Structure 1
Amino acid sequence: MTKTPQQLAKIAVQARKNFAAGQQKITDFVPVRHFSEHLIPTCIGETRVFTYISCEQNEPVPVFVNLHGGGFMMGSAEDDDIWCRRLASAVPCLVVNIDYRLAPEHKFPIALEESYAVVKYLHDNAATLRINPQRIAVGGQSAGGNLAAGLCLLARSRQEFSFCYQVLNYPALDMSVDPFSQPADKILTPRLRALFNDCYLRTQDDALNPLVSPLLAENLASLPAALVITAELDPLRPEAEQYAKRLTDAGVKTICKMFIGCIHAFTHFGPRQAAEEAERLIHTQLCRVFED
């Protein structure tokens, strides 16, 4: 039975409370040289972002744009605070952590367009911000990985700026698939995935849009090089691996790394050894890209 907008909003509010209460970071607080909170003007109003940097800005620095997970309807930039601090401490760049608007109050394409506007602001104000507009990478976890992939497609289409790299961390890349036709892990159940779809999509036709389901894009050529991280027991693993293969087949330099025995969101909830290995891989790849 289809839920009304009011019912979805009520469910989302409770889900956010439960999600926030269950947030347990796998590591301790990490200091950075400079942390700031900003409001950036976007197409739908001001968007809150957190910025982190530990390197000197004697010359323009690269940027990594982070997009948190939570199925488009839960979570916030705060959930990735430690993740971003660790990245800023390991990689000589400015980390920009976007607190994009959530569904169902803000359905597709609002979070995508809002995030795009933040990146365009960074690009257009690069000189003032002392950042390198040719060295902007993007990445995210789960729904954030979906948004990151969508941003790369959108940037390629509009040609207002470009990304130098994309990090897709156990991303959702095909929302046209019936969640109940796929397996589940203890975090990402079919029922929860169906709720995410109901909240994020305006109609079921949206699921066929490549900006919602990047795996359905006809052409993946000329996209930025990619690191795709998957978890062996994650129901999203097949679509992420298919996307990585399609990127490679399209001539996009791609690394796809699966972590054995792990479930969805393992980089944030453990096991710790695998999470730390994944982080090191991300840090290493970003350092290489930013040094080229």
Structure 2
Amino acid sequence: MTFPLWLADTIAKSAQRAPASAGLPSAVAFLEIPARTEVVTIPTRHGEIRGTVYLPRTPDSGSGVYVNFHGGGFVTRHPEQDDALCRYVAANADVTVLNVDYVPAPQSRFPGPVEQAYDAVVWAAAATRPWNGAKLVVGGQSAGGALAAGAARLALERGGPAISLQVLMYPPLDLSVPARTKKKPDTESFLVRMGPIFDTAYCPDVGRRKDRLISPAGPSDRASLAGIAPALVVTAQRDILRDEGARYARRLADAGALVEHLDLPNVGHGFNLFGADRELVTTVYDRIVVHTSDATAPDRDGRH
């Protein structure tokens, strides 16, 4: 049964008008890490979008850049929910973090947000930026992870920009099948209920949901991923999106592009935003830092 587009759009717009959540629990907000930020404007083929730049501890034009895309089912617009991750990565990986405020659905439907994400990556990679765009990481949580994967795919297909690492946290990577079919015992129900709303608002054309930029873990995408950016994939065992994340991790491994797959037991979708303990969140963030640091490290001759 197809979810009515008018209803999906109405719910999506209502969610956009809702205020941001009260904030993360203090234990995982990492407010003890100082954040120096500035706002930038990023041109894309779909108009200008905003980005928040998090400066590293030791700002240096040779430091790399981590381009982050927030989650929200492709429909909400609260990039500030990723503040904790952004400040943690900027401080501990010593890179600039660019948190991108892309335009969500229904104002921008598929492939609009993916194209915005790719355009933001191209902008961030330019030699004129005050960071080293040749040392570039893309990442995101939930829908943002899907956009990061799409941006990496477009970079592969279009010959650039070079991406050193993609960080995909519990991403939706197969919209070609209904959310209700992804439910298993001991998995959460939230995305079973909300999935049809998100999917319909983002991509009303059911046939288009097989596209490689929206369902790279689906059965229709069989193209080679050879040469795609190396990836860290994070999945959560109580998340209905876990299996598609694991499938994509295997695809990346087959292409020689999987750096690590973290499959976390006993937690669900958005675990770091919705109450997981600090030890677990720190463990995951530290793996992101390690791989980001490796991907953006200076060359052996000392050049960034």
Output the TM-score relative to the length of structure 1.
0.92
Q: Which residue of 2 aligns with 1:234?
A: 239
Q: Which residue of 1 aligns with 2:12?
A: 12
Q: Which residue of 1 aligns with 2:152?
A: 152
Give the superposed CA RMSD: 2.0
**Matched position secondary structure for 1:198:** helix
Say if 2:64 and 2:96, in contact at 8 Å, map to a contact too: yes
Q: Which residue of 1 aligns with 2:47?
A: 45
Q: Which residue of 2 aligns with 1:271?
A: 276
| Alpha-carbon distance in 2 for matches of 1:230, 1:2 | 28
Output the TM-score relative to the length of structure 2.
0.89
Greater length-normalized contact order (CA 8 Å, ≥ 6 residues apart): 2
Give the Å deviation of 1:6: 4.1
CA distances 1:60-90 after superposition (whole Å, capped 9, x unpaired): 2101000101110124211111221111111
**Matched position secondary structure for 2:172:** coil
Q: Which residue of 2 aligns with 1:166?
A: 166
Give the Å deviation of 1:42: 1.4
Structure 1 residue runs of 5 or longer lacking an equivalent are: none
| Alpha-carbon distance in 2 for matches of 1:193, 1:49 | 27
**Which amino acid in structure 1 is aligned with residue 246 of structure 2?**
E
Larger % of helix: which?
A: 1
Aligned match for 1:83, one of 85, 88, 94: 85
| Alpha-carbon distance in 1 for matches of 2:228, 2:19 | 33
Q: Which residue of 2 aligns with 1:69?
A: 71
**Which amino acid in structure 1 is aligned with residue 82 of structure 2?**
D
Aligned match for 1:247, one of 252, 257, 263: 252
Aligned match for 1:283, one of 241, 266, 289: 289
Give the Å deviation of 1:187: 6.3
Within 5 A, what are the aligned runs for 1:65-214?
Answer: 65-124=67-126, 126=127, 128-183=128-183, 185-186=187-188, 188-214=190-216
Say if 2:90 and 2:96, in contact at 8 Å, map to a contact too: yes
Larger % of strand: which?
A: 1
Structure 2 residue runs of 5 or longer lacking an equivalent are: 300-304
**Matched position secondary structure for 2:233:** strand
| Alpha-carbon distance in 2 for matches of 1:213, 1:5 | 20
**Matched position secondary structure for 1:285:** helix
Say if 2:249 and 2:258, in contact at 8 Å, map to a contact too: no
CA distances 1:95-147 after superposition (whole Å, capped 9, x unpaired): 000001011121001111112111111222x2x32322221110100111111
| Alpha-carbon distance in 2 for matches of 1:181, 1:115 | 29
Q: Which residue of 1 aligns with 2:38?
A: 36
